[in-house]
Chain A
């Protein structure tokens, strides 16, 4: 059984008990435990079930690479799935639940998948669900969806807060082990601004566990001295629980700091995302031990040798009473010593190397430990817990020599440097045959804006395996990074290191070397995604020879651990199957983040109200106080309608429309884009931007204009007013203000830079109020506005007038077909003007109206709306707006595009009006049916609905549509689709439904 030892545990505080629950069961641990070490102390070895076969799985590792012990942590708004028990520090009140099982961890129905595993090989889904096609939607997809996903998605809104922090460093050191600290000291002494990030809660990394003496003191004392020196340097910042998540272009690095995940008190931000710019980056990220590939290597109790050591030394926890160590290298012998030290049994050390190990092997024998060179695990015995191992010769096909009882198997397949951060931004790797590892190729580093490398690896991350090697490399890298960042630094000499020499590992990718299919089909590579040696071999056999293809076909390394344990073993198996060398097969791409980071941290403070700024018109508060129903339009909020107490939205819209048609309504049009285009060439410039002629517009007059892109498609429309000879005011759509401003700037700056024109976006500087309806003039007269008769201020003219004591610029333009004055005032006076108009209009029955009424009013008049009648593929000609396209101009943006054959085709869908035979309202986005079917068996279409409303003026549904040969088909009846019902019959009519001659707006 696994249990807490009576002594030992360098990270725990035996005086501080912590209570927590696992699957609802109360348990006790100690301050300093991880969730994994606390579970092991409670004899909870099985910590989850695998994704595909639901096999029982125990903890394998002791750090970020853990594939199995994934937990749902927390409750309600603090719940988060897929958290690694090995990196979750224990605190009082922690609640954890294991994943992928039903009804319970101990008894799981889905485990039947494992019995059927020979029917679920690699590529099963691709092969099986292809046919019959009709089964996909009703049968396969629901099953796949049910089974998909690891943990449960949180149900509640995230109750925690998160934040971003910007930081700058000359030298950023990622990793706070001896290598990182040594490098940081060297860089820090030079005066460079140094930032050190360590993902765990402790400095020192593996060295205090693995032993060795540095400068005459133990590794821990040396680490303490390094940290003390760094803390004394004002130019150095140290951060624990902060992972280097990703390295990006030009020295941009993301750090992921976990602030409260280890605390009972969850107040304050939970995670902090560090957005760092570093001149130089040192990754001292250590190495990850590789599992060995033997049958039953996923049974709970089979662990990495280093993890067994960590639980013993760091937490005083014995993962079991009797261990079998299986290794291809010297380092794993240390686990046997740690077990001995703790007073536990070492059943055997199986060293796959024919010649056995070096000095550590001799020491093991001297300590009375049974060491078996040239031996391997034939098979692990047990199901929910290891009960023993069958041993065999590594060289053979696995004939069992002996069965050895044990409850832990400590495996070590050698070490892989953590090269992820090096590789994120393009750092290349070399295969080191002697050490059996990919390590960074210093000659092919990620390059920065000056073309020089900005990342260097230090210590074990750089391939160093011995302590002395690590320290020497780290000091050199620290000094080199400082120099590269512009500081003077010379690496200090290597302190005296007392360590045991090691002999090289053997490359062992399958155990035993000639394992039969039965064994290979029980030999796991990727524990989290249930990928076995046999799956990779099948992929190779079926032609998935590229490592990237084999990965996707088998899902190797595609789980939340991203193959930290499995990738090297997997590609070694692949290279063997392809009979190619490992470096020829290569690795898959390392992508950030190093381990998953929370979505909350990525969002930071940008949630809810702070997700994006809200733009408010100067009259926003008045609308809010008068029962407005808002509509989001870009970043703006615009009134959709103003329902009165007890009135439905639909009724309110109809009332607002009727008010405008019969009396007078007020529209807050402040969001409309207002661009001042000024300069001697302003007219020439606008002639290029608009399809019609703007240079001929007289000062004091307004003209409606269309804007196209170079393709010829409509992008915006609006009324242009000429203010004086050199100045135009261009109105754009609400959403178009910024994009059209940018569009103008682009052409001015990059194509017609000879033109003397300036553009200023004054959208927010002015409030604009539409006074619309047959009584509009009367209302303005109540406020004493002079000279606004038809003769003094005619339709499509503008003039400066004082309205109720407020100086206004009044545009006589109409988007409703009614008599209309648009009053423009400096933003600060818009509210006062609005209130004056509301008060003065009381006796006339004035009412504010919103965007829905605006839409219906314009549709009744057949006015197009950008975004409704247009979708980026519609030309002015499609909308029968030839009248707005100048024939005289040699050129304008879009003219050449509109000459292309498809755009000038007579078969294009063109604008018409539609009236249903029964008067009902057509569905938005509905299609107009044509005869026959296309080559995919779908019904042919000949048009679509672009706008459709109930018109209270006509007391019926009205619609605008694009229809093939539309204008030639007036009076024809067409069929329009309706969801869940048969087609609706509608008559093709002129899109102007109201006041066809435009008499009402011109009075």
Chain B
């Protein structure tokens, strides 16, 4: 059961306090999109072994969504950051680059 730090209310909580919302930084495709783009947005998710960026909600706490960067193998948490961004913050990426040189996640490295 993971421990996560909510970047909104600052509480370190147990996984049961949170709800995982899957892959982070997805771009929504609206009515103007073609079938391939829409299906990619709706259904295609990465499932990496190693560094991953996820959406979480502090559902039994402050109720806020946030993002977490973690390693799916070692369970290491690189950092949590607010949901109102389209890209992980540079300091989180720096931490990951230091620990996992050469990592790549989608187009982020």
Contacts and interface: CB of A to CB of B under 8 A. Distances in A.
A79 interface: no
Given A250-B2, A746-B57, A753-B84, A900 B14 contact: no
Given A249-B15, A710-B42, A899-B31, A745 B75 contact: no
B30 A450 contact: no
Interface in A931-980: none
Interface in A687-743: 710-711, 742
A687 to B, nearest CB: 13
Contact of A450 (B29, B55, B63, B76): B76
A749 B75 contact: no
Nearest to B28: A751
B88 to A, nearest CB: 15
B65 A896 contact: no
A447 B73 CA distance: 9
Nearest to B67: A750
A15 interface: no
B83 A749 contact: yes
B38 interface: yes
B106 to A, nearest CB: 17
A334 interface: no
A591 to B, nearest CB: 15
B71 interface: yes
Interface in B1-30: 1-3, 14-15, 21, 28-30
A897 to B, nearest CB: 7
B47 interface: no
A994 interface: no
B54 to A, nearest CB: 12
Interface string B29-63: 11101010010001000000000000101010001
A897 B3 CA distance: 36
* Of listed A252, A448, A449, A745, residue having the most chain B CB within 10 A: A449
A451 B35 contact: no
A15 B14 CA distance: 50
A248 interface: yes
Contacts of B3: 250-251, 277, 449
Contacts of B28: 751
Contacts of B83: 749-750, 753
Contact of B31 (A749, A750, A751, A895): A895
A449 B38 contact: no
Contact of A750 (B14, B15, B38, B55): B55
A449 B14 contact: no
B99 interface: yes
A447 B65 contact: no
A450 B75 CA distance: 8
A450 B74 CA distance: 9
B14 to A, nearest CB: 7
Interface in A872-896: 890-891, 895-896
B93 interface: no
B55 A249 contact: no
A449 B42 contact: no
Interface size class on chain B is 20 to 34
Interface in B68-109: 71, 74-77, 83-84, 99
Contact of B1 (A249, A710, A896): A249
Contacts of A448: 75-76
Nearest to A447: B74
A451 B14 contact: no
A252 B14 CA distance: 9
Interface in A283-315: none
Given A451-B76, A751-B28, A896 B71 contact: no
Contact of B65 (A750, A900, A901): A750
Contact of A451 (B29, B31, B65, B71): B71
A449 B64 CA distance: 21
A900 B41 CA distance: 13
A613 B105 CA distance: 42
A613 to B, nearest CB: 13
Given A449-B77, A710-B42, A896-B38, A250 B1 contact: yes
A749 B84 CA distance: 7
Interface in A892-936: 895-897, 899-901
B75 A249 contact: yes
26 contacts: A249-B1, A249-B2, A250-B1, A250-B2, A250-B3, A250-B75, A447-B74, A448-B75, A448-B76, A449-B2, A449-B3, A449-B76, A450-B77, A451-B76, A710-B42, A745-B63, A746-B21, A746-B57, A749-B84, A750-B65, A750-B83, A890-B31, A896-B33, A897-B38, A900-B38, A901-B35
Across the A-B interface, give the 7 residue pairs with the lowest CB-CB distance, nearest first.
A451-B76, A252-B1, A447-B74, A753-B84, A749-B65, A250-B3, A449-B77
Interface of A: 248-252, 277, 426, 447-451, 710-711, 742, 745-746, 749-751, 753, 890-891, 895-897, 899-901
Interface of B: 1-3, 14-15, 21, 28-31, 33, 35, 38, 42, 55, 57, 59, 63-65, 71, 74-77, 83-84, 99
